[in-house]
């Protein structure tokens, strides 16, 4: 699929100049990872990143400190976060365009895309890695296989946060990308 900068700007009209910063990396990630449902992928990124504005979760992440399911209570997570001068929740809060969250997800993503996201989770905030981590997450979780918009949102963030915005962006992306 060949995504153009004009299409990206039309899908995410509030991205402004950030569209130019992310465009090539995003286009490459779509092609490299074989993303098929590009409208839903871009709509997800639009919502999760605030139209490419945020590559790091706005919240502090402290609510994730005791999240065993995210791996944040593991010895490895606690030690790596301490070396980074933070508690595990803050250290492994959401990073990237789809907000990779928690020690286990940072480790798996880092291993999957070839970066050290365990000791340097903010690497996923850099445009190239932010795009690649989003494509990795999409592929790893087989979201291309999901048809229903509500199910896509639940698979991405466990709920329906931003659902109306997702539907709006999905409608734009579907029309623009044909």
CA 59/CA 19 separation, integer angstroms: 24
- What residue numbers bound the domain in which 109 lies? 62-125
Question: Do 46 and 11 touch, CB atoms closer than 8 A?
Answer: yes
Q: Does residue 131 share a domain with residue 49?
A: yes
Count of domains forming the chain: 2
What pLDDT does 1 receive? 65
Please tell me whether residues 25 and 44 are part of one structural domain: yes
The answer on 116 and 134 residing in a single domain is no
Q: What is the mean pLDDT of the chain?
A: 96
> Tens of pLDDT along 80-109?
999 999 999 999 999 999 999 999 999 999
pTM: 0.95
Residue 50, classed as helix, strand or coil, is coil
Q: What is the DSSP letter of 12?
A: S
pLDDT, one tens digit per residue, over 7-27 is 999 999 999 999 999 999 999
Residues 74 and 103 placed together within one structural domain of the fold: yes
What CATH number did the domain enclosing 108 receive? 3.30.20.10
**Residue-wise pLDDT tens digits, 146-173:** 999 999 999 998 899 999 999 999 999 9
The answer to whether residues 112 and 79 belong to one domain is yes
């Amino acid at each position: 699929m060949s995504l153009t900068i004009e299409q990206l700007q039309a899908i995410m009209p509030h991205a402004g100049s950030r569209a130019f910063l992310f465009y090539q990396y995003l286009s490459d990630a779509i092609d490299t990872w074989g993303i098929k449902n590009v409208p839903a992928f871009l709509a997800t990124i639009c919502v999760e990143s605030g139209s490419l504005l945020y590559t790091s979760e706005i919240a502090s992440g402290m609510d994730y400190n005791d999240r065993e399911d995210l791996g944040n209570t593991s010895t490895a997570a606690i030690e790596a976060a301490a070396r980074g001068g933070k508690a595990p929740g803050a250290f492994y809060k959401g990073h990237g365009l789809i907000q990779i969250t928690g020690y286990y997800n940072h480790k798996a993503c880092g291993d999957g895309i070839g970066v050290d996201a365990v000791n340097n989770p903010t690497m996923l905030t850099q445009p190239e890695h932010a795009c690649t981590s989003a494509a990795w997450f999409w592929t790893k979780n087989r979201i291309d296989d999901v048809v229903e918009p509500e199910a896509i949102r639940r698979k991405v963030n466990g709920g329906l946060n931003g659902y109306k915005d997702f539907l709006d962006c999905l409608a734009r992306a579907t029309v623009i990308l044909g």
